[in-house]
Every structure is written in structure tokens, then in C-alpha cells.
Amino acid sequence: MSQGPENRSKRPPFALFAWLLVFIAGLFIFVFRYDHSSSRKQEWTPYEFEQNLEKGNIISAEIMPESDKILFVEGKFSDKVAADDTDLSVAREGDNLKSYSTRIYATDKLITQLQRNGVKVNYLQRDNWYKSLLFNVIVGILIIGFIYLLFTRQMRSAGKGAMQFGRSKARMILPEEHGKKFDDVAGCDEAKEETKEIVDYLKDPLKFKMLGGKIPRGALLSGPPGTGKTLMAKAVSGESGVPFFAISGSDFVEMFVGVGASRVRDMFDQARKHAPCLIFIDEIDAVGRSRFTGIGGGHDEREQTLNALLVEMDGLETQEGVIVLAATNRADVLDPALLRPGRFDRQIVIDLPDIKGRRQILGGHAKNIKLEPDTDLDAIARSTPGFSGADLANLINEAALLAARYNRTAATQQDLEEARDKVCFGRERRSRQIPDHERRLTAWHEAGHTIVNLFCKHGTPLHKVTIIPRGRALGMTMMVEKEDRYSRTKLEMLDGIAMSMGGRVAEELVFGDITSGAQQDISHATDIAHAMVCAFGMSEKLGPVKYDERSEHIYLGRDITRNESCSEATRQEIDKEVSRIIREGHDRAVQILTEQRAMLDKLALALLEKETMSADEIRTLLDLPDPEDVPRHVPQNVAVESAPESATDDTQTDGNE
């Protein structure tokens, strides 16, 4: 009965036994030769031999003629002689015998003296030398032949020989091995629609040929890390039912020149034999970066690999039936020749999921763990803007780990929220010892952020406030949007700056001093103000003009390649405008906290007692049940403009360290 591939893969390799046998044979020959040819023999001169012969020390002699006049003599001798000559043989037998060897002239006197002294003489023939030489030659030939057979066996093995480094490392995966379908991919419906055409072609290429249409030769999947680019490629292979060749961009280039180009050609040769099929190159920017850029030239080996890839995708001998999918999160650095139609005809963007996509992803991963029936995944989806699919999978896994830590039978809503905060900001550090005066500073600091946020009409909705250290922060005020936002207005940005200044202002009003805890607040407010003036054209004084345009090289440092697009006088005006916007936000925070000082103190004292409070608890404490009824302080005569989402941050974090 034949064994399966699993049993065959567990067998020890034949080469291991072969090399072990060679090692043992070599060791045996070495020891054998050493014992017989390197024994402790004394080399005598002819005079020393004659002297020992005269004294009767020599016991035996083996004589072998080397020529007609020269004899090679070796044998045993004893340097102890009996006191009287009557019992000489007995004395010799009890002695510890030693070995000697010498070369001496052949004379009749020598033979007579050997016989007279009772030496056991054994005459050897010269043919023994030839036998020893023949033995050594035969053993050497056998060892060399055996090693040669081992090398040829390895070189003939598929891709594992010593000279097979030019073969492709792409691994062919059959659709049934991974079993991924489009149903396993959530949060990127548009990307699935674009890839469905590739699937239809692989299933029925004749339909497209009859219409005269050409399917794209390649598709580039681009997007942030963790959004599911590799999963999408597997789903395309699973839906189409064709082989899937997977390789990383870094697997092409090795230390040997020309290996990368050879592997590219070999990979496409293997793919054409299994056409129709898919080739998936992960992290293609490792070999697909723009050529002829940078100071001092480019990487010749990498460029040869890229040239081979360009030719194989769309060259003179290109054949249909092989579709290339590639993934990268740096599409901006790829060579233009790689992105032209005929190679990567389509660039499919797999972006961060929206609230609907996040809900689907959470639901898919939640099937793998036990959840309490009252858990609300919709609330988690709303509170995780900017999370990728990998982040959401990590969130669900962290919730399961938290539930196991507290010996629960299922994860609760509290576990999900704690896992979200842990992924975003780090784990709570309750064991950290904080002095009472710093704890009071943190409470009033976070209360300042919260009160300003509650009294700003366009502020991001409050989620919860805590003074428990988490990550590098001693406390934080968290805000969460009710829905996904893709732009920001000028009023929302101004409210965000005022809210950032709330913590510093609370320290000034209550303690009459300021601390370093507002460092992140000031940096956050400065970034927003600078973007409003230089990028979004929201300054009435400077107008709708974009400043600080940077021309950055993709290989060189940003600082040494930055080109400023405005004069020094204009930069001074920009600095003045940024400073004015931040000062106005500071003044608004001072006005709100001065008027609502009682609420500020009440909330800070409650935080000292409870440490963490949700938005509903805070509104109940401050008697603010309806957000629409709260008076707002809004700047007058301010136009509303649109701004990208990157201009603001939905969570305020204070690093009081």
C-alpha cells in the first residue's frame, strides 16, 4: 500500500544516510591508517642499528629490499638485557618491546650477525608496496564516486539542487487548498465588482474573445496595510477555480547577479504551462520601484528583475491566459512602465472600510468567538473609524482574550470596548503610582477638555473621559462620530482647536500654573491651524492659496529635497495667522470655562472619584440631558468650508509625561 504525501515527507532524506556512511568510512580509514602507518617507531641510523644489534637488543627484523644494495628494516627491540646470558630468552619475553625502522646497506656480515644474535628475520617482497597503493586508490575512487552520485541526485531534484537558485520560488496553490470566496471578503464591495470581470474571463474566456474584447493582463491592488489585498487575490482564485502562483517581491532578488530575472522568466514559464492561472506578487514595490532615480544611480540587479517582469507581462512573446495580480501600499513609487495599459491595466483601490464594511468584518470575525447575546457590534463599528480589517480582527481577538482573563464564558460589550481602547491607546496601567497632585491636575485637565467640547456647537460628540493612565497618557478625553466623515468644515476645525486648548486653560484657571501635559494638545491644535492656512485656504488674510508645496523625491530625505513655494515675508504672515487662530481658540476656551467654572469643578471631583465616566453619565451629572438645549459659543461671520478628514482627530489624548 502506497503512503500518502504526508508520510513520504516525514521520511529521513536518503542524502542524510549517504553522508553519514561517507563520514563513518572516512573516519575508519583515517584511524586504520593512523594506527598502522603512524605508530610510534624510532628511526635509527645504520650505526645505531649496528650498535643495538651488537648489544643483543634487537628481537625481530622484517627486511624488504628497496634496491640491489639498500634494505629497509623494521622490527621489535628491547633496551633491557638480562644480567647473565644463560636466561636471555626469558628476559626478552618479559620486556616491553618497542618498534624501530632503518635503512642499511645489504652485506653478508649483516645477515650473519642477525642469525648469530638469534633475531627472528622475515623477508618481505617488494610487491606489498603495490598492494597498499592499489588499496588506497580503490578506496579513493569509491569515495569520490559516491560523493559525485550524491551531488547529481541533488541537482536532479525539483528546485532543491545546489544549482537551482535560478528557479522561481513561486508556490502553486490550488483553489481547494485555501477555499476563499468573495463571501469571505467584506468591506470592499467596489473592489469585488472590478475583480469579478477577471473571474468571468478565467471561467469563460471564449465569451470575451467572441466579442473581440481583451481582459486586463494585470490588476494592481493598492491600499493601506491590513485592508485585505492578499485575501482579495485568494478570493479571485477561489471563485475562478484556477491555480494560484503566490510569491513575494523580495523573493526575486538574491546575492547572485541575474537570479531575479531568471526567477521571473521561470515563474511565467510555469504559469503558462498551467494557463489559465493567476500570479500574485505581494509587496511588488520591492522590485517595481521607479528606475533611474536617486543620487548615484539605481540598483542594477533590481532593475534587471523589473525589466524581465515588464517583458514577460507585455512583450514580443506574451501569451494570454496568465493574469498578474499584485499588492502594494506604495503605488506612488512604482515605475510608470509597470502601470501602463497592457501590464497593470487596472489599479483597484482597497481602502479602509466604512461603517457598513466594518460591521460586516466584525460580524465575520465574531463567528469565531463566543459573544453575549446583548453585545452591540453596530456600536463598535461606529466607534472604530479608520480601522482596517486587520485592526478589527485584532479587536475581536483581544476581546476574547480579555474574557478568558476574567474567566467569562463569553465576551461582553465591556470586553469589546476595552479591546477597542487597548488597540487604539494601549492597555490601562492601573498599577502605576501617580502622586495626588498630578492626579488632580489630570482630572481638571480632562474636565477642561470635556466642558469646552460640550459647549461647542460643532464639536465631535463626546464618548467618555478617563484619568486612568493608558499607553503614555495619564488621561484622555475620547470623542466618537456618529457616522463616517470624509470632510471637515471651518467651524468644526475651530471648535477642535478650542477643545484642544481646554486642558491648558483649566490648569491656568484652577492652579494658576501650567504643565507639560498639554504638549500633544498644542501640537494637535497647531497642525489643524497650519492646515487651515496653508492647505485649505481658510485664512481671510492670505486667501484661498496653497502654500508650502513640497517637491519630495521618493528615495531622498524629505528635508533635503523640500522646495518652499512662498517667500520669507509670506511665511511670516502664515506664522502670524496660525498664531492668531490658536490664540482665538485659547480665548474661547477661557470664556467657556470661566462661565462654567462650577461645572468644571463638579466634573473634576467626580472624575477623581470614579476615574472613568461615559458621556451619558457626564450629562446626567451636569444636568445636560439634551445636547440641543446646551448654549453654544460660536464665532460670528465665519464661512463654512470643506476640509479633508485628515485635518482633525476624533480623539483627544493628553500625554502628561
Q: Kindly report the pTM of this predicted structure.
A: 0.63
Q: Which CATH architecture does the domain made up of 355-425 adopt?
A: Orthogonal Bundle (1.10)
Tell me if residue 262 falls in helix, strand or coil. Answer: helix
Are 245 and 271 a contacting pair, CB within 8 Å? yes
HEC profile for 205-231?
HHHHHHHCCCCCCEEEEECCCCCCHHH
Count CB-CB contacts under 10 A for residue 598.
Answer: 9
CATH annotation of 44-124: 3.30.720.210
- Tell me how far CA of residue 143 lies from CA of 26, 34, 37, 138, 648, in angstroms: 8, 19, 21, 9, 75
Long-range Cβ contact pairs of 203-206 (< 8 A, separation 24 or more): 203/240, 203/241, 205/276, 205/320, 205/321
Cis peptide before 353 (omega within 30 of 0): no
CB within 8 Å of 215: residues ≥ 6 apart: 197, 198, 201, 205, 208, 323
Alpha helices by DSSP H, listed for 283-368, are 300-313, 336-339, 355-366
Q: Tell me, what DSSP letter sits at residue 580?
A: H
Torsion of CA 414, 416, 419, 420, to 10 degrees: -110
In the chain (657 residues long), the average pLDDT of successive 10-residue segments reads 42 60 67 53 82 83 77 75 43 64 80 80 67 71 76 56 54 70 81 82 77 78 87 84 81 70 84 83 85 56 82 70 86 86 85 88 88 88 86 91 90 88 76 79 91 88 85 80 81 92 92 86 92 89 77 47 68 90 93 91 90 87 67 38 35 45
Tell me the C-alpha distance between 589 and 207, whole Å. 67
Tell me the C-alpha distance between 388 and 297, whole Å. 37
Q: How many CA atoms lie within 13 A of 64 on its CB side?
A: 13
C-alpha cell at 565: 513655494
Tell me the C-alpha distance between 420 and 381, whole Å. 10
Long-range Cβ contact pairs of 103-107 (< 8 A, separation 24 or more): 103/46, 103/66, 103/70, 103/71, 103/72, 103/73, 104/46, 104/49, 104/70, 104/71, 104/73, 105/46, 105/69, 105/70, 105/71, 106/65, 106/68, 106/69, 106/70, 106/71
CB within 8 Å of 161: residues ≥ 6 apart: 154, 155
Geometric angle at alpha carbon 473, from 470 and 476, rounded to 5°: 80
pLDDT of residue 498: 93
Tell me if residue 631 falls in helix, strand or coil. Answer: coil
What CATH number matches the domain at 171-349, 3.30.70.2190, 3.40.50.300, 1.10.8.60, 1.10.10.10?
3.40.50.300
Q: Is 206 exposed, middle or buried (0-12, 13-18, 19+ CB in 10 A)?
A: exposed
Where residue 19 falls (left for φ over 0; alpha for ψ -120 to 50; beta otherwise) is: alpha
Are 309 and 337 a contacting pair, CB within 8 Å? no
Q: Where in the chain is the domain with CATH 3.40.50.300?
A: 171-349
Count CB-CB contacts under 10 A for residue 255.
Answer: 7
CB within 8 Å of 608: residues ≥ 6 apart: 439, 440, 443, 467
C-alpha cell at 456: 461647542
The 10 Å CB-count burial string (b at 16+, else e) for 453-483 is bbbbebbbebbbbbbbbbbebbbbbbbbeee
Tell me the C-alpha distance between 256 and 165, whole Å. 9
Q: Where in the chain is the domain with CATH 3.30.720.210?
A: 44-124
Q: Is 169 exposed, middle or buried (0-12, 13-18, 19+ CB in 10 A)?
A: middle
Count CB-CB contacts under 10 A for residue 613.
Answer: 23
The amino acid sitting at 286 is A
Q: Where in the chain is the domain with CATH 1.10.8.60?
A: 355-425
C-alpha cell at 492: 468644526
pLDDT of residue 590: 93
CATH superfamily of 436-654: Peptidase M41 (1.20.58.760)
Q: Which residues are marked as active site? A: 446
Tell me the C-alpha distance between 370 and 397, whole Å. 11
Tell me the C-alpha distance between 643 and 636, whole Å. 20
Are 124 and 66 a contacting pair, CB within 8 Å? no
Q: Where in the chain is the domain with CATH 1.20.58.760?
A: 436-654
Closest C-alpha to 651, from 468, 504, 453: 453
Closest C-alpha to 515, from 611, 442, 582: 442
pLDDT of residue 499: 92
Closest C-alpha to 255, from 309, 308, 299: 299
Residue whose C-alpha cell reads 517581491 in the numeric block: 249
The 10 Å CB-count burial string (b at 16+, else e) for 310-325 is bbbbbeeeeeeebbbb
Closest C-alpha to 619, from 476, 480, 464, 495: 464
